[in-house]
């Protein structure tokens, strides 16, 4: 799951304008702060992930996209991550490669042509980690670039 985050255009233009006018030292500090923010988001996403151990938590990654450190991506490649993050609606499950579904209920093997799944509640972990990280980032940037 990849989340693309857009900063409102006016806010972005204002920040970029100030950053472009800033000294090279300030630009390096901004890149450092952005890298630190990406690491914070990565760490918090793992902490907020609804399982203590497992493939989803282990799959959360942080990758620097540009050498200057101004572009990062925090992602997971697990196809079921959006269903954990956003939940699912109630839905029908039907067999794909067999005439019937087979599963255990109360120790007995049960067969069915279809079943209704009740859905799952959302268990967000990436978005809350992002929101926490970006708020801290803007606080640090206000101190760096008034």
Structure confidence at residue 1 (pLDDT):
55
Identify the bridge partners of residue 72 per DSSP, sorted by sequence position: 64
State yes or no: pLDDT of 103 exceeds 80: yes
Summarize pLDDT for 29-78 with one digit per residue, the tens: 888 888 999 999 999 999 999 987 799 999 999 999 888 777 889 999 99
Displacement of CA 21 from its chain's centroid (Å): 32
CB neighbours of 113 closer than 8 A, spacing ≥ 6? 94, 95, 99, 100, 101
Structure confidence at residue 40 (pLDDT):
95
Summarize pLDDT for 10-31 with one digit per residue, the tens: 766 777 778 778 888 888 888 8
Average pLDDT rounded to a whole number, residues 117-129: 95
CB neighbours of 70 closer than 8 A, spacing ≥ 6? 30, 31, 34
């Amino acid at each position: 799951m990849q989340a693309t985050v857009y900063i409102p255009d006016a806010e972005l233009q204002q920040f970029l304008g100030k950053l472009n006018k800033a000294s090279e030292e300030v630009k390096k500090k901004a890149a450092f702060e952005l890298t630190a923010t990406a690491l914070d988001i990565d760490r918090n996403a793992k902490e907020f992930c609804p399982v203590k151990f497992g493939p989803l938590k282990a799959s959360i990654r942080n990758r620097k996209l540009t050498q200057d450190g101004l572009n990062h991506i925090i992602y997971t490649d697990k196809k079921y991550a959006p269903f954990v993050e956003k939940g699912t609606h109630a839905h029908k499950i039907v067999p794909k490669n067999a005439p019937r579904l087979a599963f255990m209920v109360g120790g007995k093997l049960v067969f069915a042509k279809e079943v209704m799944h009740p859905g799952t509640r959302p268990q967000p972990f990436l978005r809350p980690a992002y929101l926490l990280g970006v708020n801290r980032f803007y606080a640090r940037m206000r101190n760096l670039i008034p």
